[in-house]
Amino acid sequence: MSYLADGLPKPVPAPDGLDAPFWEAAANDKLVLQKCASCGKFQWGPEWVCHRCYSLDLVFEEVEPSGKIYSYERIWHPVHPALKDQGPYIVVLVEFPNHDDVRIVGNLVGDPEQPVTIGDPVSAVFEHHTDSDPEFTLVHWQIAK
């Protein structure tokens, strides 16, 4: 069962291919982030050029799918018809301290009314929507045991 009700827009790779490796990796239970092959630093969201050294030689590198909660929010008021009966849900901003502090957004699985503490460690949960057209995978998070 998915964390959020079905019917939200489904993520697809950008037509220009910029973030395609991220979605391909997620479909295979892997987390990849964009890294500059020249200066070795990570950046996110994906860009066409390294914002530090302007190298065009950017790659996607697999990283351990764990980070910590940098910020979060509990949403109560739905702004999309698919979430009309959803009730509250939690969005977390997860930071990767070992990967130049880049951050990604996901949902925090579990009780939507659970207390959330900034700084808590989390690990990824890959939510596959294989019966969807097109298929897609969301990268969620759970409090690390």
At 33, list the tokens. 């982030």
> Whole-angstrom Cα distance, residue 99 to residue 94?
12
Cis peptide before 119 (omega within 30 of 0): no
CB of 41 to another protein, least distance (A): 12
Q: Look at residues 116, 126, 127, 120 and name the one whose alpha carbon lies nearest to residue 144.
A: 120
Among 44, 58, 61, 123, binds another protein (CB under 8 A): 44
In angstroms, how far is CA 119 from the centroid of its own chain? 17
| Cβ atoms of 15 and 91 closer than 8 Å | no
Q: Which is nearer to another protein, 35 or 140 (CB)?
A: 140
76 binds another protein (CB under 8 A): yes
Among 71, 87, 135, 144, binds another protein (CB under 8 A): 71
Residues 84-113 that bind another protein (CB under 8 A): 86, 88-89, 91, 93, 101-107
Chain residues that interact with another protein, rule: CB under 8 A: 4, 8-15, 18-19, 23, 43-45, 51, 70-77, 79-81, 83, 86, 88-89, 91, 93, 101-107, 118, 134, 136, 138, 140
